[in-house]
Amino acid sequence: MIDAEYVRNHIEAGLPGGQARVSTPDNTHFEAVVVAPQFAGKRPLQRHQLVYATLGAAVGREIHALSIEAYTPEEWASRTAATGR
């Protein structure tokens, strides 16, 4: 079964050095916040494509929808410093 832990593990395995937080209300719709050095110099679409690639055929099948926020470590550090989270 696909669940948040499955999605998180696959994203982190596919983006070495990256970290993901994944939530889901129903194990078909997922929200992910992904911080990975591989995103440096990439446009948002390219970042999303990298995340989708880590999940393979599950996207569009078991994973009906995936909302992604993708940040470089530097962007994430700036964001968390600004918001205090």
Structural domain containing residue 12: 4-83
Q: What is the pLDDT of residues 22-33, one digit of tens each?
A: 999 999 999 999
SS (HEC) of 38-71: HHCCCCHHHHHHHHHHHHHHHECCCECEEEEEEE
CATH number reported for the structural domain that contains residue 54 in this entry:
3.30.300.90
Statement: the pTM of the whole predicted model exceeds 0.85: yes
Could you give the number of structural domains in the chain? Answer: 1
The alpha carbons of the chain give a radius of gyration, in whole angstroms, of: 13
Q: How many Cβ atoms from other residues are within 10 Å of residue 10's Cβ?
A: 19
d(CA 16, CA 20): 11
d(CA 3, CA 15): 19
Q: Which of 37-41, 58-62, 73-77 has the lowest mean pLDDT?
A: 58-62
Looking at residue 39, its pLDDT comes to 98
